[in-house]
A and B are shown apart, each in its own frame.
Chain A
């Protein structure tokens, strides 16, 4: 399986995302924001960072990039797309996901290992998690507070489209402790925390067993690979 990672001006975590993809067992393909070409990939990751310095709104200018025409088209045809942090912001700005992200309620940039509960294990990116799995992966953002209208929130909750919820304290004021959502089809997922930073022992969050041994993030990537094998 080939999974593309799009680099935008100001992307930071594109290389980590590519490494996570390789560790999960797929080929990572570097894609460029200015191209109109997905190079035949089977899935896409929009990585974290500060594209265009968060000017205008976080993710807004990147969501208008040339390659987003192809990304939106592929997503609407069912290609798995994962937006992490700034990538999540891009997906909301591109109207591929509902809601929006605003500045953290405490006015602080938050960087910490964050507990999450995976509440939807049917999406393309979470299918290998057990129901209501509790995991820990890094969270690092300044504008991660998930907002949506009451109506949208009801729909997200009612249709089981909350992929992940913060546990052990809401870090940023997100409504209903929402850390990630998916679309109706379950192929497009946006996550504020960073699974790509918890994929290799020695470099992940601390666990009860050992320092930096947390690899809970890897399952997002193995999920999409497993899904592709089933589809074949």
Chain B
């Protein structure tokens, strides 16, 4: 079943309190875990996976683009940063 993935991020110029809080926690961990010591920032966004019947063709993508711009994101505070097609809903990486 084709899945159209929509990714939404808070606007770059706006403060992202969620990302800032996560970055703060990583900063504290980084004092003891050297692999995290060079993390300079974290931003937290959203990923939508929209499963559809039939082909993920241009029409389907255009419809999802419209949905992304009008419902899945709010252009005052967020940007749609990616729309792409994959074969199935995501599962855990090996």
- Shortest Cβ distance from A108 into chain B, in angstroms? 9
Say yes or no for B14: interface residue by CB 8 A criterion: yes
B17 interface neighbour in A60, A99, A106, Cβ under 8 Å: A106
For A98, the chain B residues whose CB sits under 8 A away are 76
B76 interface neighbour in A100, A105, A106, A145, Cβ under 8 Å: A100
Say yes or no for B21: interface residue by CB 8 A criterion: yes
Q: Are A103 and B74 in contact (CB under 8 A)?
A: no
Near B by CB (< 8 A), chain A positions 101-117 give 101-107
Chain B residue nearest in CB terms to A89: B74
Cα A84 to Cα B18 with chains together (Å): 24
Say yes or no for A64: interface residue by CB 8 A criterion: yes
Cα A93 to Cα B76 with chains together (Å): 9
Q: Are A92 and B76 in contact (CB under 8 A)?
A: yes
Contact residue range for chain B? 10 to 19
Interface size on A, residues (CB 8 A): 22
B 66-85 binary contact with A (CB < 8 Å = 1; else 0)? 00000110101110000000
Q: Are A105 and B74 in contact (CB under 8 A)?
A: no
Q: Are B74 and A107 in contact (CB under 8 A)?
A: no
* Given A64-B71, A102-B10, A107:B21 Cβ within 8 A: yes
Chain A residue nearest in CB terms to B10: A102
Near A by CB (< 8 A), chain B positions 11-52 give 14-15, 17-18, 20-21
Q: Are B20 and A60 in contact (CB under 8 A)?
A: no
Cα A139 to Cα B71 with chains together (Å): 28
Say yes or no for A155: interface residue by CB 8 A criterion: no
Q: Are A149 and B76 in contact (CB under 8 A)?
A: yes
Chain B residue nearest in CB terms to A99: B76
Say yes or no for A229: interface residue by CB 8 A criterion: no
Cα A210 to Cα B14 with chains together (Å): 41
Say yes or no for A57: interface residue by CB 8 A criterion: yes
* Given A102-B10, A102-B14, A147-B77, A107:B72 Cβ within 8 A: no
For B18, the chain A residues whose CB sits under 8 A away are 103, 107
Q: Are B71 and A102 in contact (CB under 8 A)?
A: no
For B15, the chain A residues whose CB sits under 8 A away are 102, 105, 145, 173
A60 interface neighbour in B14, B21, B71, Cβ under 8 Å: B71
Cα A131 to Cα B76 with chains together (Å): 30
Say yes or no for A148: interface residue by CB 8 A criterion: yes
- Shortest Cβ distance from A143 into chain B, in angstroms? 9
- Shortest Cβ distance from B20 into chain A, in angstroms? 7
Say yes or no for A56: interface residue by CB 8 A criterion: yes
Q: Are A147 and B17 in contact (CB under 8 A)?
A: no
A93 interface neighbour in B14, B21, B74, Cβ under 8 Å: B74
- Shortest Cβ distance from B81 into chain A, in angstroms? 16
Q: Are A104 and B71 in contact (CB under 8 A)?
A: no
For A102, the chain B residues whose CB sits under 8 A away are 10, 14-15, 17, 77
B residues whose Cβ falls under 8 Å from a Cβ of A = 10, 14-15, 17-18, 20-21, 71-72, 74, 76-78
Nearest 3 CB-CB pairings of A with B: A100-B76, A100-B77, A103-B17
